[in-house]
A and B are shown apart, each in its own frame.
Chain A
Amino acid sequence: MIHISQTATRRPKIFLWAASLLSAIMIALVVLPSVWPASFGMLNALQIDTDPENMLSVDEPVRVFHNEQKKTFSLYDMVVVGVINEDHPQGVFNASTLGDVHALTEFAKTIQWQDKSGQTQGVIAIDLMAPSTVDNIETEGVGTVRFEWLMKEAPSDDLEALQIRNKAQNLPLLNGTIVSEDGRAVALYIPITTKNVSYKVVQALKSKISEFDSKDQYHVTGLPVAQDTFGVEMFIQMAISAPMAMVLIFLLMWYFFKKVSLVVSPMIVAMVSVIATMGLLVMTGNTVHIMSSMIPIFIMPIAVLDAIHILSDFYDRYPVYKDRKKTIDHVMRELSAPMFFTTLTTAVGFASLALTPIPPVQVFGIFVATGVVLAWFFTITLVPAYIMLMPEEKFSGFGLDQSAGENNSLMARTLHGLGRVTYSGAKLIILMVFILSGLAWAGITKISINDNPVKWFAPSHEIRVADRALNARFAGTYMAYLTLGAPEDTKPLDQFASELAQSMQAHELLPLQDMSAGVSSLVTGVKDRQELIEQLSAALELRMDIVSDEDWDMWDDALTWVGSQLSAGEVFKSPEVLEYMGQLQDYLQETGLVGKSNSLADVVKTVHRELFAGDEDAYRIPASRRAVAETLITYQNSHRPQDLWHFVTPDYTKTNMWLQLKSGDNRDMSALIEKVDQFFLDNPAPDGIGYGWFGLTYINVIWQDKMVSGMAKAFIGSFIIVLVMMVFLFRSLWWGILAMVPLTFTIGMIYGLIGWIGKDYDMPVAVLSSLSLGLAVDYAIHFLVRSREMHKQFPDWKSTKEAVFGEPARAITRNVIVVGVGFMPLLAAPLLPYKTVGVFISAILVLAGIASLTILPALIRIFEKLLFKTKTERTS
């Protein structure tokens, strides 16, 4: 490694030019295809990915199932518009507001356009749910049932508006969904072709809303909207936080090393590293996701770490040599090994994220690791090269003022004081470590695993405001879907046919007995059950043409019986099954976790009630399968018969319960999953019906589970690798273990703290553990390598520590400050995960620095004989 640096010091210009050229090429390769995609189609353009679904890979079974079910039940991602009026005594149910709502709905239907491939994109008008697009079914007088649009036209007066509210609240499928439970607000559910069009749709909606002159509040929300906003705020983060980090780091280094021109070199290293890494990311076709958008701000502080060690040593040594080449040579000899190892450990820590099953986290880990290695390479070449290009006279008066002694600066004095404390109070320090570790462990057991992508926005953000406003009034804006399905009937056709013939033989209807013998001859020529039944029905019908009028009814009944053999598989027309679904829904409501559930059972009950004059007692599942079928076909006489297929497949073998949740917290969804599991255990489903979950709220839980277990794996993996590396570096098991102590203590403390303060263990917190591991060990490496080196010049630890708490301790402290402060600009980012990462990574690194400077010397003091055994033997 030292050779590379020496080459760089000999040919500094070439290295600097090469770095500039590399940056220019990288920028060009990203900018060209992004700005002129047509001319540079062969290159990968910059692509933003804001879809939380992508936390799971595309072929992940949960996601595949989710997409299959969405298709099966014709479900789309939705933009939700909530309308609230606090001034009118009837809330939004006044003529003026509903007039606007009507106009907005009509407008929303027209938000459609053709994309480049000629596909229609935008709003799916036919599935739009709004007061003017849904049906009302109600009893009208004696013996009459009425079907009508709930709000065909805007109401002409407030009384009419109130009637619309009353009608909607009478329909279980609409109450709490379209009309708020308090009857004062309405919501529109606007399905869109793909999530990618939500921005355009929302902009159109907002411009229409701005035309309304009213005191109504319009809240536009829904996951697609949240995602678009992510995209924007990710850029804000990258555009503000990363440059801010840059400026802060620059100012700090300027303060430490007093020389602007010199401090420029680490900044060049950081810039080139970030440009090269991000360039590689885009060029390789990876998308910029919420995780990968943090790559620049991670590389920035890490990139300058090695440079700070070099400059720190250079700053302290230059006054001795008074020659930049000699000083550099000395510095690089002293530091190349620890720098190489710290780089490797950091890279390993990040690369271990590739062990998680979350693609964006893998990409993040791999590219930060790449960036770290690049930064190391640029540091050991460009910093010496840059120093060599500076004129020697610029260094006059540079460096730590040796004449005044080492002890004059505040940092130097404090560190020497600290060194003495670790010597005299070693046992006390270790006792403290034990007590704190115990407390941390208690905290860790309190950790609550939870996340909610909507809460990634600050509480004042319009999405959070809408989230609160709508969930306070409606049954819930978080959607989860519970699908129930009958087990697939795998009975072979022959067996089906022989059983059919048997039951026909045994049936009281004579025509069935008559025809039963013919089944076995029919079965040879048909491909499936449906065809068999059709053939048998045709045979029956032929006979019916010639039977007498008296016998005809009997034959007709036989025909009906044959036809119904096919519909036996339509399990979700069974009253027993629908009753079971009703019980499940009641149970869901009792858990308090579900705002409202909507199912096929509700459809049947509502239609049944209205067929029986709106009588509340008739709000039930009718007793026979045929009666259920009749309510369902009645329902299909509406304006929107297709709504039924959101709840059940046309063959009635699968059904879908739409659950509205007021909370999108993974904790609540997990609790619900457990409750439902329990229900199915306690109340076995009829007909062997099984169940499965889908919907974004469920997917979030799955990727969180994967994240938690994946992170544990990544952490253990990188811990072991780093330990092995340490043992190898120090050629000693004990020194290796010693190097792991401060970071283990630090990570334990931080997670204990998270447990104690009740911060949820969410996505950013999960990622922190393994990535901080690789960084936190750096201080221990520098401390121990330098301690061992220096120990050779001194008789014992007591005198060695004085030297160690000189330049090495100062370099570590400078690093702690730079990195600790370097991540702080993440606090200025608008999204909470960035803030979390900023706070905790700073805390981890500062604490790891303190731990390295206290626990390590204390342990060395206590185990001095064991650790320096060989040397003691050799000298004696």
Chain B
Amino acid sequence: MKNLVKILIMSALWALPAVAQETPDVMDIVEKANHVSYYKGDDGRAKVNMRIIDAQGRERVRAFIILRKDEDTADGKDGKQKMYVYFNKPADVKKMVFMVVKNMDRDDDRWLYLPALDLVKRIAASDERTSFVGSHFFYEDVSGRGIDEDNHELLEQDETYYIVKSTPKDPKSVEFSYYKNWIHKSTFLPVKTEYYDGSDQKIRSYTALKVDMIAGHPTVTASRMENHESGGKTLMNYSAVKYDVGLPDEIFSERYLRKAPRKYLR
């Protein structure tokens, strides 16, 4: 019996330095998580089906194709990114396009092409936490929140996850007071994100429902965003996901808003 205790103590002592070594830098985790969420491959393409379900269970659908291309940066870090979102459903907004240029040094540029009104509009928003086409996802959830906008803190870790708490540097610019991210240890995919208000009430939460390995990249192919205040949720399903398609730069321009690059949307 005494021996057994000794062994336990010994092994505990032996384990201690290992644990200390395993505590990584929180910024490292956050950067990796950001990369696997938004910067896989040089570019990407996916068909997205969105079901917006309100508290009463009433459902609306959106279907669109996302094209994404990353710009090379000098230091090899994740940088500027362009996104082209082409709508197929609802049928009455088909051909509508939403385009984003994500800048590192200033607010993102956003364009909207409305075919029936024959309008290309730049959208200026005071913040990016507005609804993405009526869903419970925000623009920022689709394009990614800049990792420098929050202070990050590794709350705890278990066998599978790093749990990171992020607190905004400018609390007035957002509707939450902090959020917690469950980041998968081996893939660095955030599988759950919970947003809290000032009185520690959970107001919103994101869940990755399905992860597939596509071209060597672990990819979330089904996810859910819930708004706990309104009781509504949005389900997103990804299909026909491709990486390194070889998207040309010029399709991310105003000209291609009016004339969709059919080749890459088929």
Taking Cβ atoms with an 8 Å cutoff, the residues of A that contact B are: 71-72, 74, 110, 112, 125-126, 135, 140, 143-149, 152-153, 544, 549, 552-553, 560, 562-564, 566-567, 570, 573, 608, 611-612, 622, 624-627, 629-631, 633-634, 636-642, 644-645, 649-651
Contacts and interface: CB of A to CB of B under 8 A. Distances in A.
Contacts of B131: 636-641
Contacts of A631: 117
Given A649-B58, A650-B60, A622 B117 contact: yes
B126 A626 contact: no
B91 A567 contact: yes
A571 to B, nearest CB: 13
Contacts of A608: 117
Nearest to B58: A650
12 contacts: A74-B55, A74-B56, A145-B124, A146-B123, A147-B125, A552-B262, A560-B94, A611-B121, A637-B134, A641-B131, A649-B58, A650-B60
Given A146-B125, A641-B131, A633 B96 contact: yes
Q: Which of A563, A624, A640 lies at the interface centre, i.e. has the most chain B CB atoms within 10 A of its CB?
A: A563
Nearest to A565: B91
Contacts of B172: 152-153
B132 interface: yes
Contact of A630 (B60, B93, B227): B93
A608 B119 CA distance: 11
Contacts of B229: 125-126
A71 B58 CA distance: 12
B116 A627 contact: yes
Task: Give 7 closest A-B pairs by Cβ, nearest first.
Answer: A563-B91, A636-B134, A148-B126, A626-B116, A629-B92, A627-B116, A641-B131
Contacts of B198: 110
A125 B229 CA distance: 8
Contacts of B60: 650
A144 B121 contact: yes
B116 A629 contact: yes
B114 A625 contact: no
Given A563-B94, A566-B91, A637-B130, A145 B121 contact: yes
A144 B124 contact: yes
A630 B135 CA distance: 15
B89 interface: yes
Contact of A636 (B127, B133, B201, B227): B133
B45 to A, nearest CB: 15
A193 to B, nearest CB: 12
Given A144-B122, A149-B126, A553-B262, A651 B58 contact: yes
Contact of B232 (A135, A566, A634, A642): A642
B120 interface: yes
A649 to B, nearest CB: 7
A385 B8 CA distance: 93
Interface of B: 54-56, 58-60, 89-94, 96, 112, 114-117, 119-127, 129-135, 139, 172, 198-199, 201, 227, 229-230, 232, 262-263, 266
A285 to B, nearest CB: 32
A727 B209 CA distance: 83
A638 B128 CA distance: 10
B90 A567 contact: yes
A259 to B, nearest CB: 68
Contacts, number: 128
Contact of A573 (B92, B134, B227, B266): B92
Contacts of A143: 120-122
Contact of A624 (B55, B116, B134): B116
B81 to A, nearest CB: 20
A549 B262 contact: yes
Nearest to A624: B116
B133 A626 contact: no
Contacts of B94: 560, 563
A637 B93 CA distance: 14
A634 B132 CA distance: 10
Contact of B123 (A147, A562, A564, A644): A147
A642 B229 CA distance: 12
Given A629-B116, A637-B132, 18 more contacts: A74-B56, A146-B124, A148-B125, A549-B262, A560-B94, A567-B90, A624-B116, A626-B92, A626-B115, A629-B90, A629-B92, A634-B112, A636-B134, A637-B130, A637-B133, A637-B134, A644-B134, A650-B58
Nearest to B112: A634
Q: Which of A110, A143, A570, A634 lies at the interface centre, i.e. has the most chain B CB atoms within 10 A of its CB?
A: A634
A637 B126 contact: no
B63 to A, nearest CB: 9
Nearest to B95: A560
B138 to A, nearest CB: 9
B126 A552 contact: no
B55 to A, nearest CB: 8
A519 to B, nearest CB: 17
A145 B122 contact: yes
B4 to A, nearest CB: 46
Contacts of B232: 642
Nearest to B129: A639
B109 to A, nearest CB: 10
Contacts of A560: 91, 94
B56 A147 contact: no
Contacts of B115: 626, 630
Q: Which of A570, A645, A651 lies at the interface centre, i.e. has the most chain B CB atoms within 10 A of its CB?
A: A645
B129 to A, nearest CB: 7
Contacts of B114: 611, 627, 630, 634
Contacts of A74: 55-56
A146 B107 CA distance: 13
Q: Which of B56, B117, B126, B127 lies at the interface centre, i.e. has the most chain A CB atoms within 10 A of its CB?
A: B117
B123 A145 contact: yes
A630 B263 CA distance: 25
Given A143-B121, A145-B121, A631-B117, A564 B92 contact: yes
B47 to A, nearest CB: 10
A633 B134 contact: yes
B123 A633 contact: no
Nearest to A563: B91
Nearest to B232: A642
Contacts of A612: 119
Contact of B126 (A110, A146, A566): A146
Contacts of B91: 560, 562-564, 566-567
Contacts of A622: 116-117
Nearest to B119: A611
Contacts of B90: 563, 567, 629
A155 to B, nearest CB: 13
B137 to A, nearest CB: 11
A608 B114 CA distance: 11
Nearest to A626: B116
A640 B56 CA distance: 17
Contacts of B135: 641
A638 B130 contact: yes
Contacts of B116: 622, 624, 626-627, 629-630
A140 B123 CA distance: 9
Q: Which of B55, B131, B199, B263 lies at the interface centre, i.e. has the most chain A CB atoms within 10 A of its CB?
A: B131
Contacts of A112: 201
Nearest to A649: B58
Given A642-B232, A645-B54, A627 B125 contact: no
Nearest to B56: A71
Contacts of A645: 54
A629 B199 CA distance: 38
A552 B266 contact: yes
B126 A630 contact: no
A611 B230 contact: no
A140 to B, nearest CB: 5
B134 A630 contact: no
A811 B131 CA distance: 79
B117 A630 contact: yes
B184 to A, nearest CB: 31
B92 A567 contact: yes
